[in-house]
Every structure is written in C-alpha cells, then in structure tokens.
Structure 1
C-alpha cells in the first residue's frame, strides 16, 4: 500500500524526534533548570524554549496526522486501531503541552530575571513544569512504542 510506505516512515520519524527531544528535557534539561539559581534559570529556560519551539510541535503534528491517516487506510482493523491509539496518545501529549507547559513557557519568556515578582517563591514554575513535562514525555514514548509494535506487526 503506497500510503503505508509514505506515511509510516514520516510517523516514525516525527514521533521518534518528538520522543527524543522530550527525553532530552526529562534527562538533562529539567534537572539542570531545577538546579540553577533563579536568574540563571530564567535566562536558560528562555534560551532552551526558543530552540525546541516550533521543532517539537511540528514533529508531534506530523506524527499525529500520519497516525490518523494510517488509522483510516490501513487494514486489518487491529493495525488501524493501534494507529488510532497512537494518535490518541499524541493528542494527550499535545493537550498537556498546550494547557500546562506552553503557558509556563510563555510566562517565563516575559519575566525579567533582574526584576522578579515579589512572590517569586510562590510562582516559581520549575517543579510544575518538570512534572507536566514527564507526563507528556510518557505519552509520546507510549505513542512511539505503539507505533513501533504496529510497524513490527505490519512487517509480518
């Protein structure tokens, strides 16, 4: 099937790149940000976010669109269901990103490290951002695992 030959590699690439980028954040970025003094945290966070956006969202959207298309065109139904499951996991990750991580990223982009809000200790989003980042990473990794298993099933 031509759609499978075109869409499956794109789905694998997009999902794999998204999972890799998020793993970098879980394994290195978040621990680094948590360890920095506030002023350095803000500058480092602002620097890192501009490197990952819009790359990470583009990878997730590409994988999601391919998973949806594959769920529609692939037979047998068991493989279509697995593509649908992968798509749902990616939607979950994107929802966490848009509703939890992106608002924090946008707010930190506006913070002046030399003029912190008086209640910074209460507002400091590092722990929250890190926790939500682990959630979205788990969802993207689960989507990748489903995609890899499904690819293996299609190869038989």
Structure 2
C-alpha cells in the first residue's frame, strides 16, 4: 500500500534525523547557547528501525539518515546494519547518509559494507578560516 501526498504523488523518500547532536557548531544550525534534547527523549535505535521499517512497508524506496551529525550517534552502525536488510530484500532501493564528513574515515568502509552507495557531505567552504568561523570548530 503506497502513501500518497495531498497532490496525488506517491511518497517514496524518507529523511530521518537520528540525532540533534553534532561535533560542529555551525552558526546557521546551532545557537551558541543551544540546548540539546535530553537523551531520554530521543527515539532508541530499535524504535528508529521499527519506524523506518513501517515506512518501507508502506512504499518508501529511498531512505536518508541525517542529524545533526548522524555518525556521532552512539551505535549508529547498528541501525545502519539493521536497515540494510531492506536493501538485501529489495524492499529498499537506496540507503544514504548526510554528514559533515568529520567521522567519515572512521565509518566509510562499514557504511559501504552495509550497502550505502551514496553519501552527501555538507561542505560550506574550502577556505580554512571561513570554515573555522562557520563551524566554530578546529581544522
């Protein structure tokens, strides 16, 4: 059973924010005095898996994990591995990730092993000084 939006279009894409946390503090995204959600208010990885699985059963074919920075979520690869079963079964065409790239060298091989074939990297500038100014982060 497909999901249809009010304009009659089939909904086949889902973007899921797995955390509001990030290792950058970009000026356009986080106020300096920002308060994060208490961890108890976040969906567990099991709840996220169930939620995504229901949407996949309803016709979602492409799933993007975002944040914050999704790769700072504790045990995020457990969720990615769980969701990859939908790629293996053919129920899901694409599992992708949006990241700032800071943790990518640590997780790239495992993401690829789980069937992630595309990663969107947010890159605001190639200028190191502007990067530090925007992200309020080191190098």
Shorter-normalised TM-score: what interval? Answer: under 0.3
Q: Which protein, 1 or 2, shows the higher relative CO under an 8 Å CA cutoff with sep ≥ 6? A: 1
Choose between structure 1 and 2: higher helix proportion. Answer: 1
Choose between structure 1 and 2: higher strand proportion. Answer: 2
Give the TM-score normalised by the residue count of structure 1: 0.24
Who wins on radius of gyration, i.e. which is larger?
1
Give the TM-score normalised by the residue count of structure 2: 0.26
